Amino acid sequence: MNKNDKILIIGAGLCGSLLALRLAQRGYKVEMYESRPDLRTTDISAGRSINLALSDRGFKALRLCGVEDKAREICISMYGRLMHDTKGNTFASNYSGRENEYINSISRGDLNGILLTEAEKHKNVNIHFNKKCTSVDIENTIAHFKDYKTKEEFSINAEVIFGTDGAGSVLRKSYYLEKKFLFSYAQNYLNHGYKELEIPADNSGKHQISNQHLHIWPRGDFMLIALPNLDGSFTVTLFLSYDEGEYNFNNLTSEEKITQFFEQEFPDALALIPKIKEEFLNNPTGALGTVKCSPWSYQNNTILLGDAAHAIVPFYGQGMNASFEDVTVFDEILEKGLSNWNLIFKTFEKERKQDTDAIADLAIDNFYEMRDHVANPLFKEKRKIEMDLEKHFPNQYSSKYSMVTFNDEIGYNEAMKKGRAQDKALLNLIADDEVHTHLNMSKEELKVILEKVKVETNNILEEDKIAGL
């Protein structure tokens, strides 16, 4: 591997653009191909979420590439969840007891635009739009494309191909179909799909509900969420089963039934979504899938990164952050100066895979937590204690959520293992009446709880270890 190797990146989405930028900064020659038109000059939503949650792991990668400040300019801070019940009553639940820990709503398109523009400032980067990769000959490192405008088909031969072509990756499909090696591969769909709706800004361009929160209408078998946009609107997403329950995507086909469903379950949201019927019937229903696979790379020549290697469901707000963290970790491996791409690729996967597997599992866990547990008394008491612990012992306690979201020095896998044990410890201490909460806990009372949680968490981890878990 050397700086003159011709590098081909398939997919100029968030991960591909950031990778191109970083490789360019390191002096590599990058050709990047994207199937969609340039989103800076064309209005495309392509059925994808309009806004996403950006947090510390994402910022760390953006910082590495010198674009953190530009991204922060278009962020809206969300300090916690605001839960809405069926009567329209709300209650808030902060993401952290530490004041400087919050997540950010950011426009996918605007952020992608910033990254493309920064990448293009480097003369060793060329970006080609409207060119769809149709397959990759992994043995010969040749990618086949079709130009959406001219309809021409053409092929690109490269030294190295990075597949950052998302959850439906063509490079990954070529791994599966070519059968050059034993390819472990999993695609798992939830029985729920999603549909995006909109709460517009008010007449003065302001947000109609708190823009400092991620809004949730948890209903057990389904839920609605809303994230704020800079223009005063909210992107609302309904998560609902395709075919189970009284109301589902398969049977919500008439305006009457849609209205009935929202009136019954989300009356306060319904009042803010003027185009509910039109949007519900016309916007696509998206699938929610997790992709895991291994190996990510083939020989010296191709590797999957980002969603192409590890697509996850959106419920931890970590999809983009995990893909950006891929770039951070890949860059650390590049820094080691290993002798060939194969070694770089294998080292990267060995370092990274346990973490991307973990965030995939955590995201599924959070699907159930957000739909259900957030309104559960035991869970609420646990969150109350955790906020107090984080506030009074900021250097001694971090909840699972905080470890995953705000602690980029801990890998996802470690955060998952420790966080799950800690959750189990705390929930059992509460259920067994070994810890009690009241409105104004003293620091001394909290200290006792902190010590109990630590002891119990370590016991749980130790017992699992003895059992070989």
Q: Write out the binding residues for its own copies, residues 345-374 only, by CB under 8 A.
A: 368, 373
Beta pairing class for 286-294 and 125-128: unpaired
Residue with Cβ nearer its own copies (21 or 426): 426
Residue with Cβ nearer its own copies (54 or 358): 358
How far is Cα 156 from Cα 139, in angstroms, rounded to an integer? 13
Encoded tokens for 409: 């020095």
Is the separation of the CB atoms in 78 and 102 below 8 Å? yes
Which residues lie across from 80 on neighbouring strands?
94, 213
How far is Cα 44 from Cα 35, in angstroms, rounded to an integer? 12
Residue with Cβ nearer its own copies (124 or 134): 134
How far is Cα 387 from Cα 96, in angstroms, rounded to an integer? 6
Confirm or reject binding of residue 464 to its own copies (CB under 8 A): yes
Task: Report the alpha-carbon angle 109-11-408, nearest 5.
Answer: 70
Residue with Cβ nearer its own copies (305 or 460): 460
Q: Write out the binding residues for its own copies, residues 371-390 only, by CB under 8 A.
A: 373, 378
Is the separation of the CB atoms in 107 and 74 below 8 Å? yes
Q: How far is the CB of 116 from its own copies (least distance, A)?
A: 31
> Which one among 74, 167, 230, 287 touches its own copies, defined by CB under 8 A?
287
Residue with Cβ nearer its own copies (421 or 441): 421
Q: How far is the CB of 243 from its own copies (least distance, A)?
A: 11
Encoded tokens for 451: 């010590």
Q: Write out the binding residues for its own copies, residues 220-249 only, by CB under 8 A.
A: 242
> Which one among 44, 92, 281, 431 touches its own copies, defined by CB under 8 A?
431
Size of the site for its own copies (CB under 8 A): 27
Confirm or reject binding of residue 289 to its own copies (CB under 8 A): yes
Residue with Cβ nearer its own copies (198 or 386): 386
Q: How far is the CB of 184 from its own copies (least distance, A)?
A: 4
Return left, alpha or beta for 7; rule: phi > 0 is left, psi -120 to 50 is alpha, else beta.
Answer: beta
Q: How far is the CB of 424 from its own copies (least distance, A)?
A: 4
CB atoms < 10 A from the CB of 127, how many? 19
Is the separation of the CB atoms in 206 and 255 below 8 Å? no
Residue with Cβ nearer its own copies (334 or 427): 427
Confirm or reject binding of residue 466 to its own copies (CB under 8 A): yes
Residue with Cβ nearer its own copies (177 or 281): 177
Q: How far is the CB of 104 from its own copies (least distance, A)?
A: 28
Residue with Cβ nearer its own copies (130 or 285): 285
> Which one among 74, 75, 201, 427 touches its own copies, defined by CB under 8 A?
427
Q: How far is the CB of 439 from its own copies (least distance, A)?
A: 24
Amino acid (1-letter code) at residue 168: G
Q: How far is the CB of 85 from its own copies (least distance, A)?
A: 21
Q: How far is the CB of 186 from its own copies (least distance, A)?
A: 3
Q: How far is the CB of 81 from its own copies (least distance, A)?
A: 18
Confirm or reject binding of residue 461 to its own copies (CB under 8 A): no
Residue with Cβ nearer its own copies (64 or 238): 238
Q: How far is the CB of 113 from its own copies (least distance, A)?
A: 31
Going from the C-alpha of 464 to that of each of 52, 357, 420, 459, the distances in angstroms are 35, 19, 12, 8
> Which one among 423, 435, 446, 457 touches its own copies, defined by CB under 8 A?
423
Q: Write out the binding residues for its own copies, residues 132-191 only, by CB under 8 A.
A: 182-189
Of 112-120, 286-294, 300-308, 314-322, which segment contacts its own copies by CB under 8 A?
286-294
The residues, ordered by sequence, that sit 6+ positions from 125 with a Cβ below 8 Å of its Cβ are: 20, 21, 24, 30, 32, 119
Q: Give the footprint of its own copies on this chain (CB under 8 A).
A: 182-189, 242, 287, 289, 292, 368, 373, 378, 420, 423-424, 427-428, 431, 463-464, 466-469
